[in-house]
Structure 1
Amino acid sequence: MPEITPIPLAQLTTLRTGGVPERMIDALSTDELVEALRDVWATGDEWFVLGGGSNLFVGDDPFEGTVVRILTRGIERLPSPRPGFARLRVAAGHDWDDLVAVSVSEGLAGLEAMSGIPGTVGAAPVQNIGAYGQETVQTLVEVELIDETTGEVETVPAADLGLGFRTSVLKHHYGSVPARRAVILSATFELADVGHGERRIAGAQLRGALGLTEDDTVSLAWVREHVLATRARKGMVLDDADPDTHSAGSFFQNAVVSASFARTLPDACPRWPVAPDLDPVVVIPLSAYEGLVPAPTSRESDVKVSAGWLIENAGLRKGFRFPRSRAGLSTKHALALTNRGNATATELAELARYIQSRVAAEFGLVLQPEPVLIGVEL
């Protein structure tokens, strides 16, 4: 469990903000990670784990606690009980995009649309990462985690993680605490063994992003290559030379709203239906049960709306920033707040609050931040 001289968090986060933590530990193996976390939890100090630093917005003041860097790596291929599938068990600190590259090289489908997403594998289930219609929940089988309450290591099925739109029971949402405080040690994915040949793409969202028709056939490698190119054009692939990539990705979540609220937005606002719960659980108190179960009440599906469109149509165009501020919207993608050169967290937070206020005034909707905020308020 090597304790190291603390490194400024501005050097370890893709948004490039954050002071020096009081203590920093590098965990190079799962055993070291478990030992480090148990040690930190026993002290009662403030703490957080750091993977790729791509989903964190950290304040300017020094962090008065311990940062545990998850540096574990490794991919293990396992058999699947389902014919035509294979499983990959991956260490939490392994680079996400490297996992995608390996899966494509082995002819395994299910992650290729998520090429180029920065961060580590352990962070993927926490916020159920996704892109172009693919999400972690579609292929995740289980995670191995260590629970803060008990200190015990256990294997948890994906179905018990509460995976939803960019969320899980493990995620620190802004203004609330996670339903379960735990750290992922490894994740296991089940992927279709489709080989390297060309095939039709089932997802309409991915086809649309890549300019494909229902009848077009392409290989996994082709999809990965073109997804990376598409993300690069939006400044969503990390590049030290490009300030548009000095961000936490999409800073605000695409909002999920009721169908009735969505109808109040302009028709031009992009929107996507959210799959309804087709088998809702009905709980009837025994004292009120009369031998009949009422028919389920149908309701309209919720709707996901484009936060990027709302920002631009609230008058905040790509590249917007305050005079003399070093924080600004990406020149390629209005949903990304970027550090244009030594911006402070204070400058970025000021911009984020202004965006929220403009969208709320124009459309009656308060956008919620997607990154985990540490030592900073909006």
Structure 2
Amino acid sequence: MSAQPLSALTTMRVGGPAEEFVTAHTRDELVEAAISLWQRSHDWLLLGGGSNTVVSDEGYPGPVLLVRTSGISQVEDPDLAPGSVRIRAEAGHDWDALVAECVNRGWAGIEALSGIPGLAGAAPVQNIGAYGQELSEVLHSIEFLDAATFEPRRMLAAELELGYRDSVIKQGLEGVVLSIDLVLADAAVVAAETGPEAISEPIRFAQLATALGVEVGSRVPLHTVRDAVLRLRAAKGMVLDEADHDTWSSGSFFTNPIVTERFARGLPSDAPRFPIVDPGEAPAVTTFEELAEGQPLRVPTPARERRVKLSAAWLIEHAGVPKGYRLPGSGAALSSKHTLAITNRGAASAADVGELARFIVQRVQQEFGLVLVPEPNLYGIEV
């Protein structure tokens, strides 16, 4: 297997060979392999489904640990609220298979995350989200193998500092996610008042509500939500399909920029803006009782300037880079369905992908004065 190129293990289908491949099929094998690699190699790559990884044509100059664990189990938790269920998924379990199993069992909370490629262990690293749902809303904890101690430990969701496509792991906390725990709604309990079918969490994303033919805030059968999300994603080339080159990608190649309202006011009036609920630190208040007790007066901290999220797809298209765009002679192109995915049209190299990404970043910076940030993990590729 050592001769296998990384192009065969990533959804972008580019990338040269690795120095060595190590495969872990169980939790214990994953722990043992990771510790062994830390002890003998400074640089090694952890690879799951390969949906968020792009490696250079030269390949990876070190070992690659393939996560191939699997399994879902229910966790007994006396602290759970009524009508909730806690489940544990091994890091190597296919994410969409996990969603499908939860929908089949009548557990609500991740149905709008259907069709996202990759494995469960990568979900908290990126804090995956789509169609009005985000992993941070349902993540209870993870089991994390810490590179500093070589000891597994449980980290609560709050410790991960989950943000928009971000976490402390993505920011540099070194280790391996062994499993994730989610707390979902037992939709059968909710549905008991409305009928026998398990009902979703409230629909919060307008595009999904429109596709379902309901108002935002409505609840519909879980399977109906999953089917609608899969149709929406497939229409955008975001459901893996061997025959569709629009799916030969790493999904959204750039994150949606988060900027201040002041900056956003300088953009064209039709540029989409999505408010970020982030009031910052509230002004400090000292009560009369605290003053009487001799406590010092707190110094107010001004709230941070309000922020908004922009649409990277809109910025790309309005910077003059349309759907399907490719540089002359390149094997990489923007998706023919939307402008946020860089795709392999069948014979792309990693160099082609990097060249197109750099061109897009340059065009958006020239047109709008901001720098797009790649979402996938890039190895040996400069953008």
Is 1:190–2:183 an aligned residue pair? yes
Does 1:158 find its partner at 2:157? Answer: yes
How far residue 298 of structure 1 moved from its aligned partner, in angstroms, is 3.7
Corresponding letter in the other structure for 2:48: G
1:92 aligns with 2:91: yes
How far residue 217 of structure 1 moved from its aligned partner, in angstroms, is: 4.3
Match of 1:186, SS state, is strand
- What is the identity, as a one-letter code, of the residue corresponding to 1:151? F
Q: What does the per-residue CA deviation read over 1:159-180, in whole Å, with 9 as the maximum and x for residues that have no partner? A: 1011000000111xxxxxx331
Shift of 1:211: 4.5
Per-residue Cα deviation, 1:149-195 (whole angstroms, up to 9, x for no partner): 21111111111011000000111xxxxxx331111000000000112
After TM superposition, list the pairs within 5 Å mapping 1:1-378 onto structure 2. Answer: 4-80=1-77, 81-171=80-170, 178-195=171-188, 196-198=197-199, 201-205=202-206, 206-208=208-210, 210-214=212-216, 216-277=218-279, 279=281, 291-378=296-383
Question: CA 1:214–1:200 in structure 2 vs 1: closer, same or farther (change >3 Å)?
Answer: farther
Q: How many residues align?
A: 365
Per-residue deviation at 1:299? 4.5
- Tell me how far apart the structure 2 counterparts of residues 218 and 99 of structure 1 sit (CA, whole Å): 20
CA RMSD after TM alignment: 2.1
CA distance in 2, matches of 1:150, 1:26: 22
Instruction: Among all aligned residue pairs of Structure 1 and Structure 2, give the percentage whose two residues are the same amino acid.
Output: 48
The 1:199/1:112 distance shift into structure 2, 3 A limit, reads closer
Change (3 A) 1:267 1:86: same
Alignment check: 8 A CA contact 2:324 2:337 kept: yes
Distance 2:175 2:279 in 1: 27
Structure-2 separation of matches of 1:103 and 1:114: 11
Who is 1:285 aligned against? Answer: none
What displacement does 1:327 show? Answer: 0.5
The residue type paired with residue 271 of structure 2 is C
Equivalent AA in structure 2 for residue 147 of structure 1: D
Aligned residue type for 1:48: L
> Is the Cα–Cα contact under 8 Å of residues 327 and 337 in structure 1 kept in the other structure?
yes
SS in 2 for 1:64: strand
Q: Could you tell me the TM-score, scaled by structure 2's length? A: 0.91
What CA distance in whole angstroms lies between the structure 2 residues aligned with 1:200 and 1:140?
15
Shift of 1:120: 0.1
Unaligned runs of 5+ residues in structure 1 are 172-177, 283-288
Residue type at the aligned position of 2:185: A
Cα-to-partner distance string for 1:217-237 (whole Å, 9 max, x where unaligned): 420100000000000000000
Shift of the 198–181 alpha-carbon distance from structure 1 to 2, 3 Å rule, reads closer
TM-score, normalised via structure 1 length: 0.92
Quick one: distance in 1 between partners of 2:199 and 2:295?
Answer: 57
CA distance in 2: counterparts of 1:272 and 1:244, whole angstroms: 27
Contact 1:326–1:341 at 8 Å: present in 2 too?
yes
**1:14-36 Cα deviation digits (max 9, x unpaired):** 01111110100010001111111
Aligned mates of 2:180, 2:240 — CA distance in 1: 24
- Going from structure 1 to structure 2, the CA distance change for 1:336 and 1:211 (only over 3 Å counts) comes to farther
- Residue 264 of structure 1 deviates from its aligned partner by 1.0
Aligned partners of 1:136 and 1:255: how far apart in 2?
19
- Contact 2:281/2:303 (CA < 8 Å) preserved in 1? no
Deviation at 1:197, TM superposition (A): 3.8
